[in-house]
Amino acid sequence: MIDWFTVIAQIVNFLILLALLKYFLYGRILAAMEKRQQDIASQWDDAQQQREQAAKEIDDARRKNRQLDEQREQMLATIRDEVETHRQELMVKVRFEVSEQQSRWSEAIQEETAAFLRDLRRRTSEEVGTIARRALHDLADVDLERQIVNHFLSKVRQLGEDEQVAVVASLREGNHAAVVQTTGELTDDLKHLITDTLRRCFLDDLEVRFEKSDDLLCGIALQTDAHKLAWDLRDYLGSLEHEVKQTLEEETAMRKSQREEAAKVGS
């Protein structure tokens, strides 16, 4: 048999328990659950913001990396330009120094050539003078000065009419006086021979004065105020000097060409 009192009492107790649970526990549980949901939502928002912030920072990092790459390329391009400019400057400087060196070489060669020619001319003049004196003396079997005088007087006798007129005019302007220059001292008979020949060819009353001249290598010269007639072995050395100079110039040009070819091969 059902005990309705007990049943009702249990129902009442259950309702009281529910009321107590709802009053004391359910609201708190709901509040805790709501607070927890809010916390989870807040954490979700924070996480979202952090993700957004991280994505932004990643974008910033990528942008900065691109900027750094661009700056690096610009710096490399600038460095390459500066290196190329410096290389060009060095090339210009090297070419200028090479050109200067070649100019100095050329000047040195020209100076050495000129000094060599001067020394060669001096030595050749001395040697040829000595050899000429000995050779003429041995071949002609006469004194060298006499041979020179005879050759010079022969040239005087063969003067053309125009040149003879010019010499006479110069002698008249110089008070009928002339100077005969020789390498060495002449004998009296040679002086008389020269004086007689000059008077017959130019003026009967010509006054002739004899002098030694260091300018003559081995020869004789007639000097007036405005005219000069001379024969000297120095004249024969001109062709020899010209040939030697030409040979040296050809040798210099050949060596210069060889240096230029070597420089081209080296570059």
pLDDT for position 80: 86
Residue 25 lies in a domain: no
Beta carbons within 10 angstroms of residue 159's beta carbon: 15
Residue 80 lies in a domain: no
Nearest to 222 by CA among 167, 175, 176, 151: 167
Residue 114 lies in a domain: no
Residue 130 lies in a domain: yes
187 DSSP 8-state letter:
P
Helix (H, G, I), strand (E, B) or coil at 180: strand
Residue 49 lies in a domain: no
pLDDT for position 192: 92
**Total domains, the chain:** 1
Phi, psi torsion values for 125, nearest 5 degrees: -60, -45
pLDDT for position 87: 85
Bridge partners of residue 129, in order along the sequence: none
Residue 22 lies in a domain: no
Determine the structural domain holding residue 205 and report its residue range. 125-240
73 token code pair: 């390329």
pLDDT for position 141: 44
d(CA 197, CA 222): 12
Q: What is the pLDDT along the chain (267 residues), one digit of tens a residue?
A: 667 777 777 787 777 777 776 666 666 777 777 887 888 888 888 878 888 888 888 888 888 888 888 888 888 888 888 888 888 888 888 888 877 877 777 777 777 777 776 676 667 655 655 665 555 445 444 467 788 888 888 888 888 888 888 888 888 887 888 888 887 788 889 989 989 998 988 888 889 999 988 777 777 888 877 777 877 776 666 665 666 566 666 766 676 677 667 666 555
76 token code pair: 């490399």
Helix intervals (H) in the chain: 4-21, 27-140, 144-157, 161-173, 188-201, 233-266
d(CA 196, CA 201): 9
pLDDT for position 196: 92
Residue 204 lies in a domain: yes
